[in-house]
Amino acid sequence: MNAQRTIAFTMLSLECAAFGILSETLFFPSSIIVLAALSYVPLLRYPFSRRQVFWTTSLLAILFMAKYMLYQHEFGLDRLAIRTPLAYAAAQFVITVQLHQMFDSHFDRFLPNAFPLFGIVAFILIGDILVYGSKGRYYQVLVFGYILLTGVFYQWGHAVRKPVSPEKKRWSVYVIRTGFFVVICLMGWLTATGLDRYERELDQLYYRLIEPRTGGLASRAGFSTISRLGSLSKQFDAGAEQIKLRVQSTDEPGYFRGRAFVQFFNSEWHSEIGNHNAAIIAVPPAGVQASVPQDGTWFQMGQAKSSNWIEYQVWSEISGHIFAPLNTPLVYA
> DSSP label at 256?
-
The pLDDT of residue 330: 74
One domain, residues 231 and 281:
yes
Interhelix angle for 135-155 vs 171-197, to 10°?
150
Would residue 275 count as lying in a domain? Answer: yes
pLDDT classification of 17: cutoffs 50, 70, 90: very high
**Residue 100: inside a domain, yes or no?**
yes
Q: Answer yes or no: do 213 and 149 share one domain.
A: no
Same domain assignment for residues 19 and 152:
yes
pLDDT digits (tens, 9 = 90+) for 58-106: 898 888 888 877 776 655 544 444 456 778 888 899 999 999 988 888 7
Assess if residue 306 is contained within a domain.
yes
Q: Quick check: is 269 in a domain?
A: yes
- Structural domains counted in the chain: 2
Please tell me whether residues 152 and 238 are part of one structural domain: no
| Whether this model's pTM surpasses 0.85 | no
Pair 102, 220 in one domain: no
Give the model's pLDDT for residue 214. 40
Give the residue from 4, 2, 16 showing the smallest Cα distance to 94. 16
Q: Does one domain contain both 207 and 329?
A: yes
Measure the CA–CA gap between 32 and 34, rounded to whole angstroms. Answer: 5
The tens digit of pLDDT for each residue in 166-181 reads 556 677 777 887 887 7
Please check whether residue 186 lies inside any domain of the structure: no
7-21, 138-152, 208-222 — most confident range: 7-21
Residues 209 and 302 in one domain: yes
Give 318's Cβ-side CA count (13 Å radius).
11
- Per-residue model confidence (pLDDT) at position 213: 45
Same domain, 13 and 133: yes
Full domain range(s) for residue 268: 198-333
Residues 104 and 235 in one domain: no
